[in-house]
Amino acid sequence: MSNAAPSADLRSPSPNSSSPTICENEVECTKPALVTCHHCPKRLCLKHVLEHNEINIVRTYSLSDEINCLTHLLSKLDCQQSVDNARKHLDTWKENILADIENTYQHYSKEIDELQTELNQRVDIFKDSQKSKMSILQTQLAALQKVGEISQHVTNDFLCF
């Protein structure tokens, strides 16, 4: 399961160079490169190709573990749970808003009832006051009408003589 499947590519030095190809490892190495890695274009000596393969094997196991973890996470991924959770939050919000609306309605409804009671009391007081004034006016009007009848009788009496 190695990504660095080395090939025994025993390249001969290029016709333009007089020395054999040396190992292209990260750490300086003067040994001749005997193998070319297939996954990266490095030419390595036997010792470094073995180290290179070990590193790549560890990397592949690590990547395999990561893939397995992601596969497991993906298998657990459930949109329905997210939708249900969002719906639950929305329903809770709705209940809170409706409760606030109901509380506000009850508050102002009570205030209207109190204002209606106060208004009815004031109207009753006003009606009583007006009835009292009208009663006095009716009494005065009746008295004036009697005076008017008397004066009319007196005038008629004067005219008859």
Kindly report, residue by residue over 117-156, the tens digit of the pLDDT. Answer: 999 999 999 999 999 999 999 999 888 888 877 666 666 6
* Residue pLDDT, tens place only, 35-54: 888 888 888 888 888 888 88
Q: What is the DSSP letter of 95?
A: H
Per-residue model confidence (pLDDT) at position 62: 93
Is residue 25 within 8 A of residue 32, CB to CB? The reply is no
| DSSP H helical ranges for 1-78 | 46-76
CB contact at 8 A, 32 and 45: yes
Confidence (pLDDT) at 2:
42
Contact between 8 and 37 under an 8 Å Cβ cutoff? The reply is: no
